[in-house]
């Protein structure tokens, strides 16, 4: 939507909500309360709200466990032996993958480690890993400890790409320039899909192409992308990716994470990996035989018995994504975040900067606002008015109007507090 089509009024915000085909999805979620009223929740980029259907989904498996005990692996409504496989169709749609290219297992940082162990094969000449500077700490630690594990010096083996000339975010052409400069010393590019701090959405397709053109692997951490921006991982030829399920995917704290392995690798059962019995085909799993033979799919990286209880939470949540449709969610998200941006530009006299790209193709739901003076005070005022936003030093408030359960009126209320109190 063009900025000029927006209007700065509560009536306009309400009319947008009335015309919103996804408006009713808000009712499918539990909201914490503040002074007896549901909060306005802009923290879905950190921990998504609980879908009302999650309890029943977990209860179903508790019942199977209660009534069938070990029989639940092969019996019950959803035999646990295949439990995680039920999630693949929804995930494949959202991530732009074939069903055989996605799986759920473990948690995000664990999956990054397992996938990087398979894909990072440093040689004397080709051993460098490129990442964005200021990446999420867990990703920094994962890559730092990975290169140490190979006996390499992180200062030498890791290339961090930072914005140039005081810019707030990276230009794709600068990333590509750095990849080409690293050339045949570059073993792997491991970027986030959306930068957690600035909210910048990277051009995964161009980065992957550039990485491949110098013979490097392209892997991504999609923590802030999953359930936020639709992907085309298969078509973009991305080698591997991992994400968590507790941010936009609303599957609860520490819930089971996701992984993508492009089929050109997944089909190669000789690829090195750390294996476990849940990576075996189900047909041979309980033969308990010697010799690991992985499935020729992303699930060949599964190691352990499915975490049924929290996978049940993700299953319930993905059902809601199937109903809403990731493309409709994205369309609303572009419009909703655009409205937030429009209203922020209407503010007079408050000193702040939007450090997220203005181009909708370069961001997801989140806008990161840098308030040089009043950041913490603004967050506290918002909380006291029942609006949940996140604060990061020094002065950055991250506002993520998740299209699944946030409305235009919610965004207007946020603006109203800034206008009236600061």
Residue numbers of the site for ligand PLP (CB under 6 A)?
A: 107-109, 136, 138-139, 192, 196, 221, 223-224, 244
| Least Å from the CB of residue 136 to ligand PLP | 3
The reply to whether omega before 57 is within 30° of 0 (cis) is no
Q: How far apart are CA 402 and CA 414, in angstroms?
A: 14
Tokens 């991504």: give the residue.
220
Closest distance of CB 192 from ligand PLP, Å: 5
C-alpha pair distances (Å), 171 with each of 103, 165, 267: 32, 11, 34
Q: Which two tokens stand for residue 387?
A: 């609006």
Residue 131 CB, nearest approach to ligand PLP (Å): 10
Nearer to ligand PLP, 138 or 335 (CB): 138
DSSP 4-48: GG--SSHHHHHHHHHH-TTGGGGGGEE--EETTEEPEE-BTTTSP
- Give the residue with the Cβ less far from ligand PLP, 107 or 324: 107
* CA neighbor of 240 nearest in space, from 257, 258, 261: 261
* Element holding 369 (H helix, E strand): strand 367-370
Q: How far is the CB of 417 from ligand PLP (least distance, A)?
A: 27
Closer residue to ligand PLP, CB minimum distance, 194 or 344:
194
- Return the bridge partners of 41, or none: 388
Report CA torsion sign: 360, 361, 363, 366. Answer: positive
Give 61 or 132: the residue with its C-beta nearer to ligand PLP: 132
Nearest distance from residue 215's CB to ligand PLP, in Å?
A: 26
- How near is the Cβ of 106 to ligand PLP at its closest, in Å? 9
Cα 164 to Cα 80: distance, rounded to the nearest angstrom: 50
**Least distance in angstroms from the C-beta of 138 to ligand PLP:** 4
Closest CB to ligand PLP among residues 120, 412: 120
DSSP string, 284-341: HHTT--SS----SSGGGG--S---HHHHHHHHHHHHHHHHH-HHHHHHHHHHHHHHHH
Residue closer to ligand PLP by CB (options 114, 344) is 114
Sign of the CA dihedral running 210, 213, 214, 219: positive
Query: Which one, 101 or 221, has the nearer CB to ligand PLP?
Result: 221
If the CB atoms of residues 247 and 295 are measured against ligand PLP, the closer one turns out to be 247
Output the smallest distance, CB 109 to ligand PLP, in A.
3
């Amino acid at each position: 939507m063009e900025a000029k089509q927006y209007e700065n009024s509560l009536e306009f915000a309400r009319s947008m909500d009335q015309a919103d085909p996804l408006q009713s999805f808000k009712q499918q979620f539990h909201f914490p309360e503040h002074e007896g009223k549901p909060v306005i929740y802009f923290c879905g980029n950190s921990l998504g709200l609980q879908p009302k259907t999650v309890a029943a989904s977990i209860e179903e498996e508790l019942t199977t466990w209660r009534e069938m005990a070990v029989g639940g692996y092969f019996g019950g409504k959803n035999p646990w032996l295949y439990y995680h496989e039920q999630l693949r169709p929804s995930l494949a749609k959202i991530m732009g993958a074939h069903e055989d290219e996605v799986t759920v297992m473990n948690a995000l940082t664990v999956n990054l480690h397992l996938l990087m162990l398979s894909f990072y094969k440093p040689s004397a000449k080709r051993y460098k890993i490129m990442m964005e500077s200021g990446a999420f700490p867990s990703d920094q630690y994962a890559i730092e400890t990975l290169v140490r594990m190979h006996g390499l010096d992180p200062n030498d083996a890791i290339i961090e790409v930072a914005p140039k000339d005081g810019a707030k975010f990276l230009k794709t052409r600068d990333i590509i320039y750095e990849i080409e400069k690293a050339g045949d010393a570059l073993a792997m590019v491991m970027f986030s899909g959306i930068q957690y701090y600035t909210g910048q959405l990277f051009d995964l397709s161009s980065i992957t192409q550039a990485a491949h053109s110098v013979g490097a692997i392209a892997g991504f951490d999609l923590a802030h992308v999953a359930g936020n921006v639709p992907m085309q991982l298969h078509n973009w030829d991305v080698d591997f990716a991992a994400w968590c399920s507790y941010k936009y995917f609303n599957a609860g704290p520490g819930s089971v994470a996701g992984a993508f392995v492009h089929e050109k690798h997944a089909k190669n059962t000789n690829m090195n990996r750390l294996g476990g019995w849940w990576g075996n085909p189900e047909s041979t799993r309980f033969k308990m035989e010697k010799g690991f033979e992985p499935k020729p799919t992303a699930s060949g990286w599964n190691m352990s018995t499915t975490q049924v209880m929290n996978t049940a939470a993700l299953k319930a949540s993905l059902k809601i994504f199937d109903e809403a449709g990731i493309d409709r969610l994205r369309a609303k998200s572009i419009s909703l975040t655009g409205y937030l941006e429009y209203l922020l530009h209407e503010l007079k006299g408050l000193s702040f900067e939007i450090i997220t790209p203005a181009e909708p193709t370069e961001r997801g739901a989140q806008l990161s606002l840098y308030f040089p003076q009043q950041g913490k005070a603004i967050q506290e005022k918002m909380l006291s008015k029942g609006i949940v936003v996140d604060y990061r030093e020094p002065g950055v408030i991250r506002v993520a109007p998740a299209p699944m359960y946030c409305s235009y009126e919610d965004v207007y209320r946020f603006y109203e507090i800034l206008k009236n109190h600061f």
